Chain A
Amino acid sequence: MANKIFPDTVSAMAGLDDEGILYDGMMCMVGGFGLCGIPEQLIIALRDTGVKNLTCVSNNAGVDDWGLGLLLQTKQIKKMISSYVGENDEFARQYLNNELEVEFNPQGTLAERVRAGGAGIPAFYTATGVGTIVADGKETRTFRVPNGGGEKEFVMETGLFGDLALVKAAKADEYGNLVYNMTARNFNPDMATAAKFVIAEVDEIVPAGSLHPDEIHTPGNYIDRVVMTKSEKRIEQRTVSVS
């Protein structure tokens, strides 16, 4: 089996242009919720490849100087598919100047589109967004509600599958098995299934056999490369108890 462990983020990102993974106009899935559980060092490495016209599938767009905000600064992103982008002034500027295309998806629809894409499901129906602009131009259909309550209208949404996925996990072993930490899990396990090539940034690489099969969140077959980094793990809202 090919070695999946790479010594640094630059080598973890190397050679992907030859494989048709990294190219101008590619679609990249990026895990994380806010700045929590983002593959922060891989985002920097992606920026440094100089790839342009990216479509990024990511719940948020980072902040001005961190996360995907770094790729907005360098204008490497053409389009974002996101559910919420509130914390980024440069994003707002590019968006209002029509320099950046944005497709807003309801958060659950976004998560399910990624899950479906990774699971080989081309489309699915959801009640989310029915009667709103999210459903404009999409097929709708009436179904019996699976858990009772009669018939209801649903809207068809499609699966998403990227060229590259960058995910963040707490632990990996040499097989690429991943374990996430608390709410840093978020979109990462689904995105790890929904791209041609998947790179995981992790806090720790543990010896083979030290992860119990039952505790593995993402089976190693989904993961092509693993790199251990020292993450900054920035906090957006540091909130503490008043004691």
Chain B
Amino acid sequence: MRSMTEGCLPLLPSRQDHSLTVAARWLSYNPPMPLSREDITKRAAQELQDGYIVNLGIGMPTLVANHIPEGMDVWLQSENGLLGIGPFPTEENIDADLINAGKQTITARTGAASFASSQSFAMIRGGHIDMCILGAMQISQEGDIANWMIPGKMIKGMGGAMDLVAGVKKVVVTMEHCNRKGEPKILKECTLPLTGKACIDMIITDLCVLEMDHQAKRYKLIELAPGVTVEEVIEKTEAELIISDEPSVVTV
């Protein structure tokens, strides 16, 4: 499989690659400015479509709800048993019986439905959720994800993450491109215990947007953060990437 990929797809751009010169020109009048956490969530929100049923993970993915485009009807599912999350409540209408998967108090929007956990995960596993957005510790070049366990450290559990990556139609990861030590998180193979195999369709980081090419089983670099070069992405990514067309610049 690997030799096929290497044989037919240009994995690394040459020095003369057009995308590099474009990026270099960009750099000359735009200093490197990787995406902030808010920019990453804004970019993730661009993946939403009218009528989508979406599950947002805890942390950065939850913030995507703040950037749903005006006039777009998106339904947020919470795996503890609600379809149709509304805004946070006011102090007066807090209900201890109404929380999201992060255990935060929420409200239910008009048309919302509540249901049991078994029904909620039937919805997730059965392919009735259009998209989910979650964080990751590591992603492999074939789309495996590790995000629940570091051996030797306190294990908190996988919660609903394994079900979400196994059952949702489009799985998007938002994360920092490198870990706190500056090491790549997008690897040839994950070294941490997996959450799911070959399941991540898109990765949005502070440096770029990667989309899985399901035929080639490799991520394709489709967008660069303003001022970030193809070279920088390659340097900070261990996985083989497909870099064929000129990546566009992320706009948020």
Which one, B97, B125, B160, B167, contacts A183 given CB within 8 A? B97
- Chain A residues touching B, majority SS: loop
Beyond the given pairs A83-B158, A186-B117, A241-B90, 18 more chain A to chain B contacts, judged by CB atoms under 8 angstroms and listed by A's residue number, are A33-B101, A34-B99, A35-B96, A84-B158, A92-B154, A96-B154, A107-B158, A111-B116, A126-B125, A130-B197, A131-B194, A182-B95, A183-B81, A190-B118, A235-B94, A237-B102, A239-B105, A241-B87
Is there an interface contact between A182 and B166, defined as CB atoms closer than 8 Å? no
- Which B62-116 residues have a C-beta within 8 angstroms of A? 78-82, 87-91, 94-106, 108, 114-116
Q: B31: CB under 8 A from chain A?
A: no
Q: Name which residue of chain B comes closest to A239, CB basis.
A: B104
Q: Render A71-102 as a binary contact track against B, CB cut-off 8 A, 1 for contact.
A: 00000000000111111000010011000001
Q: A243: CB under 8 A from chain B?
A: yes
- Chain B residues touching A, majority SS: loop
Is there an interface contact between A234 and B156, defined as CB atoms closer than 8 Å? no
For A187, the chain B residues whose CB sits under 8 A away are: 116-117
A186-B81, A237-B105 known; A33 vs B96 contact (CB < 8 Å): no
Taking Cβ atoms with an 8 Å cutoff, the residues of B that contact A are 78-82, 87-91, 94-106, 108, 114-118, 120-122, 124-127, 144, 154-163, 166-167, 193-197
Is there an interface contact between A111 and B90, defined as CB atoms closer than 8 Å? no
Is there an interface contact between B94 and A238, defined as CB atoms closer than 8 Å? yes
Q: Name which residue of chain B comes closest to A82, CB basis.
A: B157
Smallest distance from the beta carbon of A103 to chain B beta carbons, Å? 10
17 contacts between A and B (CB under 8 A): A36-B96, A84-B157, A106-B160, A107-B79, A107-B159, A108-B79, A108-B167, A185-B115, A187-B116, A190-B118, A234-B96, A237-B99, A238-B105, A240-B88, A240-B90, A241-B89, A241-B90
Is there an interface contact between B88 and A241, defined as CB atoms closer than 8 Å? yes
Q: Name which residue of chain A comes closest to B115, CB basis.
A: A185
Which one, A132, A238, A240, contacts B196 given CB within 8 A? A132
Q: A115: CB under 8 A from chain B?
A: yes
Q: A133: CB under 8 A from chain B?
A: yes
Is there an interface contact between A133 and B193, defined as CB atoms closer than 8 Å? yes
A131-B196, A147-B127, A239-B104 known; A183 vs B166 contact (CB < 8 Å): no
For A177, the chain B residues whose CB sits under 8 A away are: none
Q: A127: CB under 8 A from chain B?
A: yes
Is there an interface contact between A237 and B97, defined as CB atoms closer than 8 Å? no
Smallest distance from the beta carbon of B134 to chain A beta carbons, Å? 13
Q: Render A108-141 as a binary contact track against B, CB cut-off 8 A, 1 for contact.
A: 1111101100000000001111111110000000
Complex CA gap A124/B154 in Å reads: 30
Complex CA gap A35/B80 in Å reads: 12
Which one, B94, B103, B116, contacts A240 given CB within 8 A? B94
Smallest distance from the beta carbon of B239 to chain A beta carbons, Å? 18
Q: A144: CB under 8 A from chain B?
A: no
Which one, B89, B97, B118, B197, contacts A36 given CB within 8 A? B97
In the A-B complex, the 7 residue pairs with the closest CB atoms: A108-B121, A108-B163, A131-B197, A233-B96, A184-B97, A84-B157, A106-B162
Complex CA gap A96/B154 in Å reads: 7
